[in-house]
Amino acid sequence: MKQRTLGTMKVSEIGAGCMTFAGNYNAPVPKEQAIKTIRTAYENGVTFFDTAEVYGPYISEEFVGEALAPFRDKVQIATKFGFAIDGTIALNSRPEHIRKVVEESLKRLRTDHIDLYYQHRVDPAVPIEEVAGALKELINQGKVLHFGLSEASAKTIRRAHAVQPVAAVQSEYSLWTRNVELNGVLDTCKELGIGFVPWSPVGAGFLTGKIDTNTKFDPKTDFRAGFPRFSQEFLKLNMPLIEWLKAYAAKKGATPSQISLAWLLAKGPNIVPIPGTRTEVHLLENLGAQRVQLTATDVLAIDTMLGKYPVFGDRMGEAHMSQIDYTV
Protein backbone atom coordinates (compact mmCIF):
# COMPACT_ATOMS: atom_id res chain seq x y z
CA MET A 1 0.00 0.00 0.00
CA LYS A 2 1.39 3.39 -0.99
CA GLN A 3 1.24 6.30 1.40
CA ARG A 4 -0.04 9.84 1.11
CA THR A 5 0.25 12.92 3.30
CA LEU A 6 -2.56 14.69 5.12
CA GLY A 7 -0.96 17.93 6.26
CA THR A 8 2.16 16.46 7.88
CA MET A 9 0.67 13.05 8.70
CA LYS A 10 1.53 10.05 6.54
CA VAL A 11 -1.24 7.50 6.01
CA SER A 12 -2.11 4.67 3.64
CA GLU A 13 -3.52 6.02 0.37
CA ILE A 14 -6.80 4.20 1.06
CA GLY A 15 -8.19 4.35 4.58
CA ALA A 16 -10.92 2.41 6.33
CA GLY A 17 -14.22 4.04 7.26
CA CYS A 18 -15.56 2.36 10.39
CA MET A 19 -19.04 3.88 10.67
CA THR A 20 -21.01 0.98 9.23
CA PHE A 21 -19.84 -1.47 11.89
CA ALA A 22 -22.07 0.48 14.29
CA GLY A 23 -25.07 0.76 11.97
CA ASN A 24 -26.46 3.78 10.10
CA TYR A 25 -26.73 1.85 6.82
CA ASN A 26 -27.86 -1.38 8.49
CA ALA A 27 -28.00 -2.91 11.96
CA PRO A 28 -24.66 -3.05 13.83
CA VAL A 29 -22.44 -6.06 13.12
CA PRO A 30 -21.21 -8.45 15.84
CA LYS A 31 -18.06 -7.16 17.52
CA GLU A 32 -16.04 -10.18 16.39
CA GLN A 33 -16.86 -9.47 12.73
CA ALA A 34 -15.92 -5.81 13.07
CA ILE A 35 -12.61 -6.58 14.76
CA LYS A 36 -11.71 -9.23 12.19
CA THR A 37 -12.48 -6.88 9.28
CA ILE A 38 -10.49 -4.01 10.81
CA ARG A 39 -7.50 -6.27 11.41
CA THR A 40 -7.74 -7.65 7.88
CA ALA A 41 -7.53 -4.07 6.62
CA TYR A 42 -4.35 -3.56 8.65
CA GLU A 43 -2.87 -6.84 7.39
CA ASN A 44 -3.44 -5.58 3.84
CA GLY A 45 -1.64 -2.28 4.31
CA VAL A 46 -4.30 0.06 5.68
CA THR A 47 -2.92 2.31 8.41
CA PHE A 48 -5.63 5.01 8.50
CA PHE A 49 -8.86 4.25 10.36
CA ASP A 50 -11.78 6.66 10.63
CA THR A 51 -14.44 6.61 13.34
CA ALA A 52 -16.48 9.03 15.49
CA GLU A 53 -18.07 9.13 18.92
CA VAL A 54 -21.53 9.50 17.36
CA TYR A 55 -21.26 6.23 15.41
CA GLY A 56 -23.39 3.92 17.51
CA PRO A 57 -23.04 6.14 19.48
CA TYR A 58 -19.69 5.03 20.90
CA ILE A 59 -19.80 1.49 19.45
CA SER A 60 -17.51 2.16 16.49
CA GLU A 61 -14.83 3.76 18.67
CA GLU A 62 -14.93 0.77 21.02
CA PHE A 63 -14.55 -1.68 18.12
CA VAL A 64 -11.71 0.31 16.59
CA GLY A 65 -9.92 0.67 19.91
CA GLU A 66 -10.01 -3.05 20.63
CA ALA A 67 -9.13 -4.09 17.08
CA LEU A 68 -6.12 -1.80 16.77
CA ALA A 69 -4.74 -2.10 20.31
CA PRO A 70 -2.11 -4.75 19.38
CA PHE A 71 -0.51 -2.44 16.79
CA ARG A 72 -1.60 1.01 17.96
CA ASP A 73 1.81 2.58 17.28
CA LYS A 74 1.70 1.49 13.62
CA VAL A 75 -1.62 3.08 12.65
CA GLN A 76 -3.32 6.47 12.59
CA ILE A 77 -6.75 6.80 14.18
CA ALA A 78 -9.11 9.61 13.22
CA THR A 79 -12.22 10.31 15.26
CA LYS A 80 -14.66 13.19 15.58
CA PHE A 81 -16.44 15.41 18.09
CA GLY A 82 -19.20 17.94 17.73
CA PHE A 83 -22.57 16.29 18.27
CA ALA A 84 -24.46 16.67 21.53
CA ILE A 85 -25.46 12.95 21.54
CA ASP A 86 -28.58 13.71 23.55
CA GLY A 87 -31.18 11.86 21.53
CA THR A 88 -31.20 14.52 18.83
CA ILE A 89 -28.70 15.47 16.15
CA ALA A 90 -27.94 18.78 17.87
CA LEU A 91 -24.43 20.21 17.64
CA ASN A 92 -22.07 21.07 20.50
CA SER A 93 -18.54 22.32 19.85
CA ARG A 94 -18.13 24.45 22.96
CA PRO A 95 -14.51 24.21 24.16
CA GLU A 96 -15.52 22.77 27.54
CA HIS A 97 -17.51 20.07 25.74
CA ILE A 98 -14.55 19.23 23.49
CA ARG A 99 -12.27 18.90 26.52
CA LYS A 100 -14.77 16.49 28.10
CA VAL A 101 -15.49 14.24 25.12
CA VAL A 102 -11.85 13.90 24.04
CA GLU A 103 -11.17 12.07 27.32
CA GLU A 104 -14.08 9.73 26.69
CA SER A 105 -12.91 8.99 23.13
CA LEU A 106 -9.36 8.31 24.34
CA LYS A 107 -10.70 5.76 26.80
CA ARG A 108 -12.88 3.99 24.22
CA LEU A 109 -10.02 3.96 21.71
CA ARG A 110 -7.61 2.53 24.32
CA THR A 111 -4.97 5.12 23.57
CA ASP A 112 -3.29 8.20 25.00
CA HIS A 113 -3.55 10.25 21.79
CA ILE A 114 -5.81 10.76 18.78
CA ASP A 115 -3.88 11.12 15.54
CA LEU A 116 -6.53 13.24 13.79
CA TYR A 117 -9.43 14.87 15.62
CA TYR A 118 -12.15 16.30 13.39
CA GLN A 119 -14.94 18.70 14.19
CA HIS A 120 -17.75 16.53 12.82
CA ARG A 121 -19.97 19.43 11.78
CA VAL A 122 -19.35 23.16 12.00
CA ASP A 123 -21.30 24.55 14.97
CA PRO A 124 -22.76 27.96 14.07
CA ALA A 125 -23.15 28.75 17.78
CA VAL A 126 -19.39 28.57 18.41
CA PRO A 127 -16.87 30.68 16.45
CA ILE A 128 -14.51 28.38 14.58
CA GLU A 129 -11.58 30.28 16.10
CA GLU A 130 -12.66 29.05 19.56
CA VAL A 131 -12.86 25.48 18.30
CA ALA A 132 -9.41 25.74 16.71
CA GLY A 133 -8.08 27.25 19.93
CA ALA A 134 -9.41 24.32 21.94
CA LEU A 135 -7.72 21.91 19.54
CA LYS A 136 -4.47 23.85 19.81
CA GLU A 137 -4.57 23.27 23.57
CA LEU A 138 -5.18 19.54 23.12
CA ILE A 139 -2.35 19.33 20.61
CA ASN A 140 -0.01 21.14 23.02
CA GLN A 141 -1.01 18.62 25.70
CA GLY A 142 -0.24 15.70 23.35
CA LYS A 143 -3.77 14.30 23.52
CA VAL A 144 -4.36 15.15 19.83
CA LEU A 145 -1.72 15.20 17.10
CA HIS A 146 -3.62 16.80 14.20
CA PHE A 147 -6.75 18.95 13.74
CA GLY A 148 -9.39 18.25 11.10
CA LEU A 149 -12.70 19.64 9.87
CA SER A 150 -15.66 17.84 8.32
CA GLU A 151 -18.12 19.35 5.84
CA ALA A 152 -16.62 22.81 6.34
CA SER A 153 -16.74 25.62 3.80
CA ALA A 154 -13.64 27.18 2.26
CA LYS A 155 -14.07 30.30 4.39
CA THR A 156 -14.35 28.29 7.61
CA ILE A 157 -11.29 26.24 6.68
CA ARG A 158 -9.24 29.42 6.23
CA ARG A 159 -10.41 30.90 9.54
CA ALA A 160 -9.60 27.72 11.46
CA HIS A 161 -6.27 27.22 9.73
CA ALA A 162 -5.16 30.70 10.78
CA VAL A 163 -5.46 29.68 14.45
CA GLN A 164 -4.33 26.04 14.30
CA PRO A 165 -3.09 24.36 11.11
CA VAL A 166 -5.72 22.05 9.67
CA ALA A 167 -4.25 18.70 8.59
CA ALA A 168 -7.29 17.35 6.76
CA VAL A 169 -10.79 18.22 5.65
CA GLN A 170 -13.37 15.48 5.29
CA SER A 171 -16.43 15.90 3.07
CA GLU A 172 -18.61 13.68 0.96
CA TYR A 173 -17.01 13.32 -2.47
CA SER A 174 -17.61 10.72 -5.16
CA LEU A 175 -18.59 10.28 -8.77
CA TRP A 176 -22.10 11.46 -7.90
CA THR A 177 -21.28 14.04 -5.20
CA ARG A 178 -18.86 16.59 -6.63
CA ASN A 179 -19.81 19.86 -4.95
CA VAL A 180 -16.35 20.24 -3.37
CA GLU A 181 -14.96 20.68 -6.89
CA LEU A 182 -17.15 23.77 -7.31
CA ASN A 183 -17.39 25.44 -3.88
CA GLY A 184 -13.69 26.13 -3.37
CA VAL A 185 -13.05 23.44 -0.76
CA LEU A 186 -10.70 21.28 -2.85
CA ASP A 187 -8.88 24.35 -4.18
CA THR A 188 -8.47 25.76 -0.68
CA CYS A 189 -7.07 22.49 0.64
CA LYS A 190 -4.59 22.32 -2.22
CA GLU A 191 -3.52 25.94 -1.70
CA LEU A 192 -3.00 25.54 2.06
CA GLY A 193 -1.36 22.12 1.96
CA ILE A 194 -4.33 20.43 3.65
CA GLY A 195 -5.22 16.82 2.96
CA PHE A 196 -8.68 15.92 1.72
CA VAL A 197 -10.56 12.81 2.88
CA PRO A 198 -13.64 11.83 0.84
CA TRP A 199 -16.24 10.09 2.95
CA SER A 200 -18.85 7.91 1.25
CA PRO A 201 -16.47 7.54 -1.74
CA VAL A 202 -18.64 4.81 -3.28
CA GLY A 203 -21.84 6.80 -2.88
CA ALA A 204 -23.23 5.10 0.26
CA GLY A 205 -23.21 1.86 -1.70
CA PHE A 206 -24.83 3.16 -4.88
CA LEU A 207 -21.56 3.19 -6.85
CA THR A 208 -20.92 -0.48 -6.06
CA GLY A 209 -23.52 -1.37 -8.69
CA LYS A 210 -25.31 -3.62 -6.19
CA ILE A 211 -28.25 -1.30 -5.53
CA ASP A 212 -31.15 -1.27 -7.96
CA THR A 213 -34.69 0.10 -8.13
CA ASN A 214 -35.97 -2.84 -6.07
CA THR A 215 -33.61 -2.19 -3.17
CA LYS A 216 -35.42 -1.32 0.07
CA PHE A 217 -33.94 0.68 2.95
CA ASP A 218 -35.24 0.08 6.47
CA PRO A 219 -36.13 3.48 7.99
CA LYS A 220 -35.44 2.07 11.47
CA THR A 221 -31.80 1.20 10.79
CA ASP A 222 -30.77 2.81 7.50
CA PHE A 223 -30.21 6.55 7.02
CA ARG A 224 -30.58 6.10 3.27
CA ALA A 225 -34.31 5.60 3.70
CA GLY A 226 -34.48 9.36 4.26
CA PHE A 227 -31.95 10.42 1.62
CA PRO A 228 -33.83 11.84 -1.41
CA ARG A 229 -31.52 10.37 -4.06
CA PHE A 230 -32.25 6.88 -2.70
CA SER A 231 -36.02 7.34 -2.93
CA GLN A 232 -37.87 5.19 -5.44
CA GLU A 233 -38.63 8.32 -7.47
CA PHE A 234 -35.02 9.43 -7.87
CA LEU A 235 -33.29 6.05 -7.78
CA LYS A 236 -34.80 5.22 -11.17
CA LEU A 237 -33.54 8.49 -12.60
CA ASN A 238 -30.04 7.88 -11.23
CA MET A 239 -29.65 4.36 -12.64
CA PRO A 240 -28.23 5.43 -16.04
CA LEU A 241 -25.09 6.62 -14.22
CA ILE A 242 -24.52 3.24 -12.62
CA GLU A 243 -25.19 1.39 -15.87
CA TRP A 244 -22.51 3.49 -17.56
CA LEU A 245 -20.13 2.91 -14.63
CA LYS A 246 -20.62 -0.87 -14.80
CA ALA A 247 -19.79 -0.87 -18.51
CA TYR A 248 -16.74 1.36 -18.02
CA ALA A 249 -15.44 -0.78 -15.15
CA ALA A 250 -15.81 -3.94 -17.23
CA LYS A 251 -13.66 -2.40 -19.96
CA LYS A 252 -10.98 -1.63 -17.38
CA GLY A 253 -11.12 -5.11 -15.83
CA ALA A 254 -12.28 -3.64 -12.54
CA THR A 255 -15.43 -3.34 -10.44
CA PRO A 256 -17.53 -0.17 -10.17
CA SER A 257 -16.26 0.37 -6.62
CA GLN A 258 -12.65 0.12 -7.75
CA ILE A 259 -13.18 2.65 -10.54
CA SER A 260 -14.91 5.01 -8.11
CA LEU A 261 -11.96 4.87 -5.71
CA ALA A 262 -9.29 4.98 -8.42
CA TRP A 263 -10.94 8.12 -9.84
CA LEU A 264 -10.63 9.82 -6.46
CA LEU A 265 -7.00 8.75 -6.07
CA ALA A 266 -6.25 10.18 -9.52
CA LYS A 267 -7.88 13.50 -8.63
CA GLY A 268 -4.98 14.66 -6.49
CA PRO A 269 -2.04 13.41 -4.38
CA ASN A 270 -3.55 14.89 -1.20
CA ILE A 271 -6.78 12.83 -1.49
CA VAL A 272 -7.27 9.76 0.74
CA PRO A 273 -10.68 8.07 0.42
CA ILE A 274 -12.08 6.08 3.34
CA PRO A 275 -14.55 3.51 1.98
CA GLY A 276 -16.56 1.78 4.67
CA THR A 277 -17.52 -1.87 4.60
CA ARG A 278 -18.84 -4.52 6.94
CA THR A 279 -17.18 -7.55 5.31
CA GLU A 280 -13.71 -8.72 4.40
CA VAL A 281 -14.80 -9.54 0.83
CA HIS A 282 -15.86 -5.96 0.10
CA LEU A 283 -12.82 -4.63 1.96
CA LEU A 284 -10.44 -6.53 -0.30
CA GLU A 285 -12.40 -5.46 -3.37
CA ASN A 286 -12.03 -1.81 -2.35
CA LEU A 287 -8.31 -2.18 -1.68
CA GLY A 288 -7.94 -3.53 -5.20
CA ALA A 289 -8.54 0.02 -6.43
CA GLN A 290 -4.88 0.81 -5.83
CA ARG A 291 -4.03 -1.49 -8.75
CA VAL A 292 -6.33 0.43 -11.13
CA GLN A 293 -4.26 3.17 -12.70
CA LEU A 294 -6.32 5.92 -14.29
CA THR A 295 -4.43 8.40 -16.45
CA ALA A 296 -5.21 12.10 -16.73
CA THR A 297 -6.88 11.26 -20.03
CA ASP A 298 -9.02 8.62 -18.29
CA VAL A 299 -10.07 11.10 -15.61
CA LEU A 300 -10.98 13.72 -18.19
CA ALA A 301 -13.03 11.16 -20.11
CA ILE A 302 -14.85 10.11 -16.92
CA ASP A 303 -15.55 13.72 -15.96
CA THR A 304 -16.88 14.39 -19.42
CA MET A 305 -19.23 11.42 -19.19
CA LEU A 306 -20.40 12.45 -15.73
CA GLY A 307 -21.63 15.69 -17.25
CA LYS A 308 -24.12 13.62 -19.24
CA TYR A 309 -25.65 12.04 -16.12
CA PRO A 310 -27.21 14.62 -13.81
CA VAL A 311 -27.75 13.39 -10.26
CA PHE A 312 -31.31 13.57 -8.96
CA GLY A 313 -32.09 14.16 -5.29
CA ASP A 314 -30.16 15.64 -2.37
CA ARG A 315 -27.36 13.56 -0.88
CA MET A 316 -28.84 13.51 2.65
CA GLY A 317 -32.14 14.26 4.35
CA GLU A 318 -33.22 17.78 5.27
CA ALA A 319 -32.11 17.59 8.91
CA HIS A 320 -28.61 16.42 8.01
CA MET A 321 -28.28 18.87 5.11
CA SER A 322 -29.17 21.74 7.46
CA GLN A 323 -25.89 21.08 9.30
CA ILE A 324 -23.67 21.48 6.26
CA ASP A 325 -21.50 24.60 6.39
CA TYR A 326 -22.31 26.67 3.31
CA THR A 327 -20.49 29.83 4.49
CA VAL A 328 -19.07 31.76 1.53
**Which is catalytic among the residues 25, 42, 55, 118?**
55
Dihedral pair phi/psi, residue 275, rounded to 5° = -60, 140
Q: What single-letter amino acid sits at 96?
A: E
Instruction: Judge whether 135 and 93 are in contact, CB under 8 Å.
Output: no
Contact 317, 228 (CB under 8 A): yes
Cβ burial of 206 (10 Å; 0-12, 13-18, 19+) is buried
> Distance of alpha carbon 243 from its chain centroid, rounded?
25
Q: What gap in Å lies between CA 50 and CA 297, rounded to an integer? A: 31
CA–CA–CA angle 285, 256, 173 (5° rounding):
95
Helices and strands: H and E segment counts in the chain? 11, 9
Given a contact cutoff of 8 angstroms between Cβ atoms, the answer to whether 14 and 153 are in contact is no
Alpha-helical runs (H) found in the chain: 31-43, 59-68, 95-108, 128-141, 154-163, 185-192, 232-251, 256-266, 280-287, 296-306, 318-321
Is position 117 annotated as part of the catalytic site? Answer: no
Q: What are phi and psi of 305, to 5 degrees?
A: -65, -35
Return the C-alpha torsion angle 206, 210, 213, 214, nearest 10: -130
CA atoms within 13 A on the CB side of 296: 2
* Residues classed as catalytic: 55
